[in-house]
Amino acid sequence: MIIESIFITTAHLLTIRTIISPTYADHVISIDTLTNIIILFMVAYSINIKNPMYLDTALLFAMIPYVDVIAIAKLVNK
């Protein structure tokens, strides 16, 4: 319960940071960190309810930031 509330608070702060960040690099870093926090929340929730279905979802969701960072890096590099 405490860990989930810490994840939610951190996610709110990262969302605010994403909105007010001045550069693209700050946007990418905050969104990547927010995605990692969401993945950790899904893993903690899966362990808490003893259902491995959310672990598979977290694994699939972990691929999104990797592709996102590569696409944005190519876009900024042009």
Number of domains forming the structure of the chain: 1
Confidence of residue 12 (pLDDT cuts 50, 70, 90): very high
Please tell me the distance from the alpha carbon of residue 72 to that of residue 66, in angstroms, as a whole number: 10
Residue with tokens 């319960």: 1
CA-CA distance, 33 to 47, in Å (whole number)?
21
Say which residue the tokens 């969401």 belong to: 38
Give me the half-sphere count of Cα atoms (radius 13 Å) on the Cβ side of residue 20.
5
- What is the tens place of the pLDDT at every residue in 56-77? 888 888 888 888 888 888 887 7
Residue 25: what are its φ and ψ, rounded to 5°?
Answer: -65, -40
